[in-house]
Structures are given as C-alpha cells and as structure tokens.
Amino acid sequence: MAQIILHKADTRGGANHGWLKSFHTFSFSSYYNPERIQFGALRVLNDDQVDGGMGFGDHPHDNMEIISIALEGSLQHEDSMGNVAVIEPGEIQVMSAGTGLYHKEFNKQADKPVKFLQIWVFPNERNVQPRYDQQKYDLDSHRNELVQILSPDRADAGVWIHQNAWFHLARFDQEKELRHSLHMPGNGIYIFVLKGEVSVAGQELSERDGLGIWDTDTISIKAKPGAELLLMEVPMQV
C-alpha cells in the first residue's frame, strides 16, 4: 500500500538574511529538524529568492548532484571549471560536484529579485568527475502534460545526473487528471506545487506544498487550471 508524507508550505524551515529569503523543505544550514532530513535520495529542496545584484560568493561543493530551476529573473553561475552561465525561467542547471569544485551564483539583474529552486540529490557514486550542464525546456508547448527535465540517462530528455532520478515539470491551463508510472521499483515520488491547486493521493495541495509517495508504482494527479508542479522521482534507499 502506498505511503505518503505531507509537507505543507508553512511548515518549512526558513531563513531571512535580508538579501536572501529561503524556505527549506528539508534540514539545511541552520535549520535542523530530525523529522525532515530527506526524502530518499532527495536531500535538499530550497525555495530561494535573492535580491537584485546580490548572491552567494565563492563556496565549495563536493559529492552532490545540485540542480537549479529558475522561476523568475536571471541567475548567473560561475565555477572553478571555467563555466560562466545564466539560467532564466524555462531552464534547468545541473552540477555534479563529485571530487569538489567552487562556484558562485548571483542575481544577474540589479533591480529585480531572482527566484529559483535549488535541489540536491545524493549521487549514486561518490567522487565522480565534476561537471556542469544546463538545458532549456518548453512547458507552454506541452501544457497539461508532464515534461521530463532530468534523468539518469544522458541520451534521454533533459539534463542527466549520477542517480536513478527523473524530474518532470507540468503547467496546466485546464482541469486535468494524469497517471504517472514510476521508472524504477524502489523509487518514490516527491511532488512540489509551484502554483495553484493539485490533488494527489487524496491530498489537496496548494502553492509550495510538498507530498512524498512511495511503495507504489503509479500515481494519479488531478490539477486545476493555473497549476504548476515539479515531480521528482528518486530512489528511497541511498
């Protein structure tokens, strides 16, 4: 029988550094909640807003698959591999930190905030060669369906990571019911609502609510017009 865990938006941890406002679905930095450590291999789901011209200075990472999804504004990334890139809404960025790298990221625009999700997934292999990639996706041409933006397979749609994980985004302009089958046994699905109202496994979800489901091989999603969601399938055992 399917098991679920519900994380309502207002139960997330938070940090307000003035220039940075962040909501943490799982324990991160100074927010520690032993009941909210991870959902399987999904370890970090941060909902960040950075003021114009501000950002995170040079800092290191290792052994983590780090995914950023821009929601509003422009996020500039620079790293020790020589990559300089900007992501905007409609783009996903991935960094396999592996043996270690430095990077900085900041709001490219001086007068508007940038809003983005930063997602960390445990890698299925430690100490890989660090790498960076980014890709565009198009939700408007594929409304009312799930659009794959990440997988473990470099030949498949979206960016790829060192983990048996699949991410999809969806934007709805009509009431729609979808069924989604998991790619791998032992995986679970975490749904994060970006906008609007969604019903999953009998749970009514609103903006920024999260719902984890596991011990199932398929899920049903009912979305209302205007809804947007991120669906993340990850291994439940790390």
Which spans of this chain sit near another protein (rule: CB under 8 A)?
Answer: 27-30, 32, 34, 37, 43-44, 59-64, 97-100, 102, 120, 122, 126-127
Rg (CA), the chain: 17
Asked whether 169 and 149 are in contact (CB, 8 A), the reply is yes
Known binder of ligand: residue 24? no
Measured from the CB atom, the residue of 40 and 147 that comes closer to another protein is 40
Q: Residue 74 pairs with which residues in a beta bridge? A: none
Measured from the CB atom, the residue of 40 and 221 that comes closer to another protein is 40
- To another protein, the closest distance from the beta carbon of 61 in angstroms equals 4
- To another protein, the closest distance from the beta carbon of 26 in angstroms equals 8
- To another protein, the closest distance from the beta carbon of 20 in angstroms equals 13
Known binder of ligand: residue 7? no
Question: At CA 140, angle to CA 137 and CA 144, rounded to 5?
Answer: 105
Measured from the CB atom, the residue of 57 and 185 that comes closer to another protein is 57
Q: CB atoms < 10 A from the CB of 152, how many?
A: 16
The whole-angstrom separation of Cα 189 and Cα 33 is 21
Measured from the CB atom, the residue of 44 and 67 that comes closer to another protein is 44
DSSP three-state, residue 89: coil
The whole-angstrom separation of Cα 132 and Cα 15 is 27
- To another protein, the closest distance from the beta carbon of 78 in angstroms equals 16
Known binder of ligand: residue 59? yes
Q: Residue 115 pairs with which residues in a beta bridge? A: 49, 72
Known binder of ligand: residue 142? no
Residue list, annotated binding site for Fe cation: 59, 61, 103, 105
Residue list, annotated binding site: 59, 61, 103, 105
